[in-house]
Amino acid sequence: MSASRLDIAVIGAGMGGLATAAALRKAGHEVTVYEQARRFTRLGAGIQIGCNAMHVLRGLGLETALRAETFYPRSWNNRDAATGEVLFDMMFGPEAEAQYGAPYLLAHRGDLHAALASAVPNEIVRLEHRLVGLEPQGDGRVRLAFENDTVATADAVIGADGVHSVVRSALFGEDEPRFTGRIAYRTVYPAARLDGYPISNCTKWWGPDRHIVIYPVKPDRSEIYFVTSQPEPGFEIESWSTTGDVKVLRAAFDGFHPEVQRVLAAAPEVHKRPLVDRDPLPQWVDGPVALLGDACHPMTPYMAQGAAMAIEDAAILSRCLAGTDRDAVERALRRYQQTRQERTARVQLTSRQNRWGKGVTDVDWVYGYNAWEAPLASL
């Protein structure tokens, strides 16, 4: 192995893990991705890909594929749920693309995940490998243990294993994320179910204590997605089911604008999940192990930036580890943490307020960031 070619284990093949694997390979490292799932499933949900995430995805060679599969909105319009009054029309389309240097796209989650998976060779992804433990070895490498009784070693480990990260617990102890007291219902369905009723943009409908965001996820608007946020006072984790009741959902949005009623009336089924986040963590790195994405900075979805932050992390991490040998891994990972912490904390805390787009909003600091060019922290 050459001095600057590290053997890196990435735990988790979500958006963050796959982006990280692709970026680290681009930087010349050997990567193995360990994922607990048996196969990738196409969850019925949409995802907004901010211009900042698109800079990274372009650098991974995915822009053409993503443009072909996604919807290109004119704006993210914010409207009062009852009156329809426009509160803030956050402009995207060619205007934002010219300003920020990359497009804003609306995707099916499965399409973004598939694009990222296409940037990583199948043979480096080990499915059905649920990490259950990790420990440093005497030679500076890290030993990984999996539920299927296999073990592996690596020069560095990246915990991209989501909000309930086993890597984070192993490094910093067990603790639960903060439940916001709210849940999200979401689904994707064929626009044909709307009988010609046009959904031609991205709209967030703001009610007094709840909201719904609706947008197409295909270039020809053939699939429609919505996601809500609403209080769930009787929430009990023990009886939690991920399938929602469409009738309960429709009743919860009674009184919202007719467009919302129409979209909910046509929904065949919905999934629901609790909304959680964390306060910014003081530490993401311990020796040759680092956290990335939701494992270290889970956030509410109100800025549509959780995956974007994980994807930005991937680019910055790969820049910090470029040309790094084993002796310099810890320093490179600390530099990654130091470069990323302030920005991700700001997004976490801004998102938590749920005011993004409710009135005139300064959005340049989010969408104008290019992780391939942003300055790295000096140590």
Residues with catalytic annotation? 215
Q: Which of 8, 9, 14, 270 binds ligand FAD (CB under 6 A)?
A: 14
Q: Which of 9, 10, 24, 36 binds ligand FAD (CB under 6 A)?
A: 36
* H-assigned helices in 269-328: 306-321
Residue 367 backbone zone (phi > 0: left; psi -120 to 50: alpha; other: beta): alpha
Q: Does 17 bind ligand FAD (CB under 6 A)?
A: yes
Cα-based distances in Å from 163 to 14, 121, 273, 307: 11, 25, 13, 12
**Identity of the residue, 155 or 294, whose beta carbon is nearer to ligand FAD in the bound complex:** 294
**Identity of the residue, 88 or 302, whose beta carbon is nearer to ligand FAD in the bound complex:** 302
First-to-last C-alpha distance (Å) of the chain: 27
Q: Which of 24, 56, 125, 160 binds ligand FAD (CB under 6 A)?
A: 160
| Listed ranges 123-131, 216-224, 259-267, 355-363: which one lies at the site for ligand FAD (CB under 6 A) | 123-131
Please, which of residues 197-236 interact with ligand FAD by CB under 6 A? 227
Range 54-58 contact pairs with CB under 8 angstroms and sequence separation of 24 or more: 54/102, 54/103, 54/104, 54/105, 55/101, 55/102, 55/315, 55/369, 55/370, 55/371, 55/372, 56/19, 56/23, 56/311, 56/312, 56/314, 56/315, 56/371, 56/372, 57/19, 57/115, 57/116, 57/311, 58/102
Q: Which of 293, 333, 347, 367 binds ligand FAD (CB under 6 A)?
A: 293
* H-assigned helices in 27-121: 51-59, 63-69, 93-100, 109-118
Q: Does 296 bind ligand FAD (CB under 6 A)?
A: no
Q: Does 110 bind ligand FAD (CB under 6 A)?
A: no
**Identity of the residue, 131 or 332, whose beta carbon is nearer to ligand FAD in the bound complex:** 131
**In the complex, minimum distance from the CB of residue 257 to ligand FAD, in angstroms, rounded to a whole number:** 21
Q: Does 69 bind ligand FAD (CB under 6 A)?
A: no
Residues near ligand FAD, by CB under 6 A = 11-17, 34-37, 47-48, 129-131, 160-162, 166, 184, 186, 227, 293-295, 301, 304-308, 310
